[in-house]
Amino acid sequence: MGEKTVATYFKDFKIKDHSLGMAFVVLFVIAAFVGWPNFLRIRNLTNILRQISYTGIIGLGMTMVIISGGIDLSVGSMCAFVGGISIYFLNLFGPESILGIALTILFSLVLGMVCGALNGIMVAKFKMAPFIVTLGTMSIFRSLIQYFSNAGNILSENTLYGRIGSGVFLRLPIPVWCFFAVGILLHVVLNHTAFGRYICATGSNEQVAKYSAINVKLVKMIPYIITGLTVGVTALMWSSRLNCINPSDCTGYEMDAIAAAVIGGTLMSGGKGSIIGTMMGAVMLGIINNMLVMGGISAFLQQAVKGLVIIVAVLLQYNNNGK
Amino acid sequence: MGEKTVATYFKDFKIKDHSLGMAFVVLFVIAAFVGWPNFLRIRNLTNILRQISYTGIIGLGMTMVIISGGIDLSVGSMCAFVGGISIYFLNLFGPESILGIALTILFSLVLGMVCGALNGIMVAKFKMAPFIVTLGTMSIFRSLIQYFSNAGNILSENTLYGRIGSGVFLRLPIPVWCFFAVGILLHVVLNHTAFGRYICATGSNEQVAKYSAINVKLVKMIPYIITGLTVGVTALMWSSRLNCINPSDCTGYEMDAIAAAVIGGTLMSGGKGSIIGTMMGAVMLGIINNMLVMGGISAFLQQAVKGLVIIVAVLLQYNNNGK
Amino acid sequence: AGAAETKNAIPKIGIAVPSPDHGWTGGVGWWAEKAVKDFEAKYPGKYEFKVLHADGYAKQLSDVEDLMVWGMDYLVILPHESAPLTPVVKEAHDSGVKVIVVDRGLTDTSFGYINLAGNNKEMGKVSGIYVRDYMKKNNLTKYVAMGGMPVVIDGERMNAFFDEMGKDASLVNLAGGRAYDFSDWSTQKGLELMENYLQKYPEIHAVFCQDDDVMTGVLQAIKESGRKDIKLVFGGAGSKAAYEMIMHDDPLVKATATYHPSMVYDAIAYCLDVAEGKKSSDFNTAKAPTAVVLPSVLVDKSNVSQFYDKDSVF
Amino acid sequence: MKGIVDSRDILYLDGISKEFSSVRVLDQITFGIREGEVMGLIGENGAGKSTLIKIICGIYQPTEGQVLLNGELVDIPDYITGKKLGIGIVPQEFNLINSLTVYENIFLGNEIHKGLLLDKKLMRLKAREQLDRLKMPVDVDKLVSDLSVAEKQMVEISKAMILDARILIFDEPTTTLTGHEVEILFDLMRNLREKGVTMVFVSHKLHEVKTICDRVTVFRDGKLISVDDIAEVDEHDLARKMVGRDFSQVFPPKLKRAENTVILEVGHFCIANLLKDVSFTLRKGEILGFAGLVGAGRTETMEALMGLRRLEKGTVLLNGEIVKIKNARDAVDHKLGYISEDRQGKGIVQGFDIPKNISLISLPDKYVRHGFIDKAAEDLSANHYIDEFKVVAASKKMELKYFSGGNQQKVYLARWMDTEPQILILDEPTRGIDINAKREIYEFIHALAESGISCILISSEMEEIIGLCSRVYVMKEGHIADCLEGDEITEENIMFNATGIKKGN
Ligand SMILES: Nc1ncnc2c1ncn2[C@@H]1O[C@H](COP(=O)(O)OP(=O)(O)OP(=O)(O)O)[C@@H](O)[C@H]1O
Ligand SMILES: Nc1ncnc2c1ncn2[C@@H]1O[C@H](COP(=O)(O)OP(=O)(O)OP(=O)(O)O)[C@@H](O)[C@H]1O
Ligand SMILES: O[C@@H]1[C@@H](O)[C@H](O)OC[C@H]1O
Ligand SMILES: [Mg+2]
Ligand SMILES: [Mg+2]
């Protein structure tokens, strides 16, 4: 070990160890060309960040779930559900109630965690396949919020609520700040706490984790609760941005969240992943999208290009990992 | 060994070995009550069968993929893609060309297999996570067919084509016959051929399979081709039923196909599964759906009930399997 | 030409529509592209167009943001969903973009834009009148109805429809009261729903399904059931397939009520008229939207030839 | 309750029984373990040793009976509780997380914190110290997946050591170690004993038990047979107690080399960082040994031969003809067979029953009629092997994961025998199997060779190599150090070539 000089650093630098970063840079440069000169405008860049922040935040929780060996398909429906119920809750207070807003923030986060715990309990305690559990709850959350709202818009009556989601702080939209904050928090949890390590261990080999005196059930459950929490944050950001929730909101969030995680290098089979990677993955998805829009690709083909890019991104990583 | 008398058979009968069959019977009885007297009408039963046959057929291929340790999310888009392109192909022939129809049948199956091979190669040869590969191709197939059709309906000009999909043979709709035929075929492949054995071995432990002189790459690839074939069959049945394909058709097929497999006892983690189980799973989904309609459950809640039933069905199985 | 003044030397026109999640929106996309092609040919090099298709309103929201960064002068938008798109469209308006909203309107009516739409209430009403009268005339009593998706315009149509049906007490909605299921405006879903209805209700006389794509599925289910009790299937919007059936005296399909995706073409044409100075751009500074309503017309054998366009994808 | 018989006992097992779905695998086990002793635990495969250990740790719950710690009744519902009570375990199967690094594994479940966060620096430091004590200087930041089997075992031992447990249980810790490494481990154990740590040591190698243990407990068929002071019994007694009858010669008489025909010639195998110019020959009907320290490259050589690893350079001559073996199927077609050292990871299919496991390779050649599997033929052949190898199974339809190691190994052997190989490579074929099964396997290898089949035996057990082989290649760091023949095959010669160190120096 010892001190590394700059020279040895560059000597040790192996592209394959930094394939994600390289891919990011390459993509950025391409986007700058394709979208010249709009792409590099501050306005455009913050736009991209805001656009990806909603699914990005959830992607961070999803990363934890995937590392632990699970998957959560219910996040999109859950987000609409939590957002909708939270607005009902908010409307119990006066139209300018700050207290109402404060309590709704709390309510939203807690409700998200409760929903997440529901998934978590079924996966961890009843040992059901996460794919199936969350496929089921995906239908359930969506169905319930449609039922409660009679499939109509759920409008907030609070005039101040909208300021959260559409607010800007130090030139960055508030959802983007949330994205960074949740990212840093979960990065620390994953890399610098025993719990983070237990998630990796359990996702890699449950049996071994058990023999290492790890409370496997708990370790498998908590990532779902964390994901519920991130869903709560996004639900807040989203519902307050529009000051309303439609029961069909947030459809397909699960795919973007998963894609961000996987592009960021998280193994679908569990055991390994990175929060920073997911953050980069989410931003890359945003850049690709922006590029397609700015580049004027046929609208019908945009999805195809996006699919292709995801595949190629992952392909490059796999090959670099030398398997 | 030796002959079993009926008595010993019943003595050996353990509910847990037949949990799926029991669940099926229970569900059937409940449905008969809830939907009395309509449910038991032959007409209703054949209807249920026809309704589930489309995703059911694909579920059979999906079962093979899941057993081999994979997953295929692209089946729905692939189905619209194959169906659409096949109609373009059919329209190259005259409006009453029987030859055209015969060739289109072939074309459709082959195209399905080619699409499946695409997924298969990426999974098997490039060792990419199946979830990601097929998430990508899901976008790609959908996008391409929208592009080709300009997002409009693709109408068949052949006046006879419609007879396949809406035809009835010996009182059963043709798609139902296909469902049974493909089911029996794949059941035999899975249980009575070396290849079926290899799929299970590979899905259970790839290393072991490799060390046992199994061509792991091939064994991982072929299930995707089989799934492509089943998609081809469904695409034929579906496109010929309406004599047209809309590029947004068949959305969400993947979920039904996977649900059928998993309800039928196929392990999401691979290595174990049953075609008969999937067939029962598909029919159970159909019965549930029928029951909800007949029972007059609020349309908004129907999805919730369906989600719940899936979870409970799987929960019962897991508990019975004694894990 | 005395064009309304814009920021760009070559004015930029941004068009945001939903992506083709069913036949009708497929038509919208097609007509939007067709308009762009036509007007590019008509005014070569004079305008820049960008058409964006969004698969959900979150995507559309970011599409509008992207169009702002691109620097559009005009926005023609068919909002995926009214409420969530309203703020961002308002933001565009406030930054000087002239806005034309098509079909599904905005929730904020305190600023100036063109609201070009079909008449959903009228569509429901026209349909209701036709179905009611037809049933009366043929001594039919039992009907079922299907909605599209749970969105505002859908409710408007269904309510207007049931208002008309309610005027004759002898007509019964088999689902009871004003109950109905959603077809997602998709053929596949329409087929499945109809199959279930056919099982549930031993006798049905008429089906209102509000959309011609859905109607295709409904008809298929009826055909396969071999049942003869159904005498009328009424869709809506005015698809090519429906027009053809009306032309060819289909036993079940007698008429439809227009609500055509080509309205997006009209909206783009309106936009160019403004840009060319042929129409006033004052709407932009007004305190309320200017409504341009395309009527919903009953199309039957007598007038179908005026509406049929054999090149349309819808 | 009988109460504590001996006040020296730290742990007392009182009438412990365990049933798995009404099959009794432990029957009324009662004995005590004294503070600061090393208690040996021996018995045939499936005797119930691991099960008992798991009960002590809290991983399994006994069906009957209780555990007393320091004379007090304790309830150990899970391993977390077991650990809190000061019980540590080195489990029988590998228990490391491949995607984590060495130090992360060592501290898994036992992390050191600095405030709320992990103290990675301190953990690295301590991990390094621990590994140094085991004379295994691996980089603590290396991923476990990149370690050799022996290195993994040492990490595993370190993981248990770091617990500072009062009772430390080793379930067959030496199966993957060579003599040299076993010595290091024993030194460490002696050290611990001086500090008053109580240890339980499970091994199938009786001389090890004799060397390190103070007392020894023998199990047979889930029953306690005896508890003796080690001084009062010799290896022969132990073997007899385990098997339940007299037990004489372990190794069959050495074969006289019958033929001189070279049937296999491997030339200049090279794989970067793994193999350096490995060449050897194999004669018809001989038992050829491959010795060396763990990590010397023996497994890699054979895997390359079998087409399971890509070679950078190298030729294979079979019966004088050059053959290209690109994958295991080619190897099988050329009548080569390979029993991997990693039975769990590369050998058996856990979820398959006996017939399916046995027929896995020979399926297309033997059991497919007109495209379909002939299940009757499959069953018949399974019955044949069950008899031949004396596989003990409640039912041949039981999934293999429920079988003990020795029986799994027999099924695995049967699979390869069913391919009718001319050359059979056995990589650590007796790892983790009991003395009786071992002898059966020795006799089996012997019989194979007599019938003209050539065997390559890779083993880290010196006595196996010496007892069975007519010639021995010794590998060191990826190359062949020497080829020993006849009387040259001695422990000293092998060790010298494997390590470069002469014994006694
Ligand atoms: N989870 C389980 N379910 C069913 N049977 C089991 C289970 N675990 C162990 N057994 C059975 O219990 C018996 C004792 O197994 P155990 O692993 O304790 O033996 P062992 O003495 O450690 O053998 P070995 O020397 O091979 O490690 C065996 O017959 C085994 O098949
Ligand atoms: N995938 C790998 N990547 C890097 N190094 C590896 C890999 N596999 C094995 N090695 C290294 O190659 C060397 C040879 O390993 P191996 O354990 O197979 O040798 P061996 O002589 O067969 O010993 P054993 O008695 O354990 O079978 C070891 O140093 C090991 O760490
Ligand atoms: O699906 C269509 C809907 O989007 C439009 O607004 O009205 C007509 C419907 O058919
Ligand atoms: Mg054991
Ligand atoms: Mg080895």
Interval C245-267: pLDDT, tens: 999 999 999 999 999 999 999 99
**Residues in the 5 Å CB sphere of ion ligand 4:** D 50, 92
What separation in angstroms does the CA of D12 have from each of A120, B138, B235, D35, D162? Answer: 39, 61, 69, 11, 25
Q: Residue A37, preceding bond cis, omega within 30 degrees? A: yes
The answer to whether D400 touches D408, Cβ cutoff 8 Å, is yes
Touch between chain D and chain C (3+ CB pairs, < 8 Å)? no
Contact call for residues D290 and D298 (beta carbons, < 8 A) = yes
Question: Which of B166, B246, B293 is closest, CB to CB, to C187?
Answer: B246
Q: Which residues from chain B sit within 8 angstroms of residue D374, using beta carbons? A: none
List the shell of residues around ion ligand 5, using CB closer than 5 Å: D 299, 341
CA angle at residue A288 from A284 to A292, to 5 degrees? 170
- φ, ψ at D79 (rounded to 5°): -70, -25
Distance from CA of A181 to the nearest CA of C (A): 22
**What spacing in Å lies between the alpha carbon of D155 and ligand 2's midpoint?**
15
The C-alpha atoms of residue B102 and residue B160 are separated, in whole angstroms, by 11
Query: Does residue A321 register a pLDDT over 60?
Result: no
Pocket test for ligand 2, best of D148, D309, D426 (most atoms within 8 A of CB): D148
CB of C120 shorter than 6 A to ligand 3: no
pLDDT of the residue at D1:
44
Our CA-based measurement puts residue C4 at a distance from the nearest CA of chain B, in whole angstroms, of 33
Torsion of CA C228, C232, C236, C242, to 10 degrees: 60
At D502 the pLDDT is 55
The number of the ligand nearest the C-alpha atom of C182 reads 3
For residue B154, list its beta bridge partners.
B245
Neighbours of chain B (3+ CB pairs under 8 A): A, C, D
**Residue C29 near residue C52 (C-beta atoms within 8 A):** no
Nearest CA to ligand 3 atom 3: C24
Model confidence at D250, pLDDT cuts 50, 70, 90, reads low
Name the residue among C19, C62, C83 with its Cβ closest to that of A299.
C19
Residue with the bigger pLDDT between D45 and A56: it is: A56
In chain D, CATH 3.40.50.300 sits at: 9-243
Is C211 a pocket residue for ligand 3 (Cβ < 6 Å)? yes
Ligand nearest to the CA of C151: 3
pLDDT tens track for D315-347? 999 999 999 999 999 999 999 999 998 888 899
A128 and B314 within 8 Å at the Cβ level: the answer is: yes
Query: CATH says B34-290+301-307 is which class?
Result: mainly alpha
- The residues on A that touch C, with CB distances below 8 Å, are 38, 41, 43-44, 47, 50-51, 54, 146, 150-153, 155, 162, 166, 241-242, 244, 246-252, 289-290, 293-294, 296, 299-300, 302-303
Q: How many CB atoms lie within 10 A of CB B3?
A: 5
Dihedral (Cα; D66, D71, D77, D78), 10-degree rounding: -120
Ligand 1 binding residues, C-beta < 6 A: D 20, 25, 43, 45-51, 92, 402-406, 434
* Whether the predicted pLDDT of C151 surpasses 80: no
- The better pLDDT of the pair D290, D249 is held by D290
Confidence of residue D504 (pLDDT cuts 50, 70, 90): very low
Nearest CA in chain D to B189: D372
**Angle between helices A216-242 and A98-124 in degrees, nearest 10:** 150
Q: Which residue of B has its CA nearest to C185?
A: B248
| Segment A10-26 mean pLDDT | 70
Inter-chain Cβ pairs, chain A and chain C, closer than 8 A: 69
**CB contact (8 A) between residue C20 and residue B299:** no
Cβ–Cβ under 8 Å, residues D172 and D188? no
Chains that touch A (3 or more CB pairs under 8 A): B, C, D
Q: Which helix (H) or strand (E) holds D87?
A: strand D87-90
> Would the CB atoms of A208 and D96 count as touching at under 8 Å?
yes
Task: Give the side-chain half-sphere CA count within 13 A for B27.
Answer: 26
SS3 C134: helix
Q: Which residues in chain B are closer than 8 Å to C181, comparing Cβ atoms?
A: 299
Decide if A194 and D98 are in contact by the 8 Å CB cutoff. Answer: no
Average pLDDT over residues C295-299: 93
| A172 phi, psi to nearest 5 deg | -110, 135
The domain ranges of chain A are 34-290+301-307
β-partners of residue D482 are D474
Nearest CA to B191 out of B63, B25, B319 is that of B63
Q: Do B149 and C30 touch (CB under 8 A)?
A: no
List all residues whose CB is within 6 A of at least one atom of ligand 2.
D 146-150, 274, 292, 294-300, 341, 460
- The architecture CATH gives domain D9-243: 3-Layer(aba) Sandwich (3.40)
**In the predicted model, is pLDDT for residue A12 greater than 70?**
no
Q: Which of A201, A207, A211 sits opposite D100 (nearest CB)?
A: A201
CA of residue D183 to ligand 3 center, whole Å:
81
The pLDDT assigned to D292 comes to: 86
Q: What is the mean pLDDT of residues C203-225?
A: 92
Angstrom distance (rounded) from CA C100 to CA B32? 54
Tokens 């040299």, residue? Answer: D180
Sites in chain B below the pLDDT cut of 70? 1-17, 299, 317-323
Beta-strand relationship, B244-245 and B154-155: antiparallel
Mean pLDDT across D273-284: 93
What does the pLDDT read at residue D257? 61
Which range is least confidently modeled, A207-211, C159-163, D15-19, D196-200? A207-211
* Contact criterion met (CB < 8 Å) for C313 and B149: yes
Q: B189, B193, B208, B217: which to substitute to probe chain D, counting the most D Cβ within 10 Å?
A: B208
What residue type is assigned to position C95 of the chain?
A: S
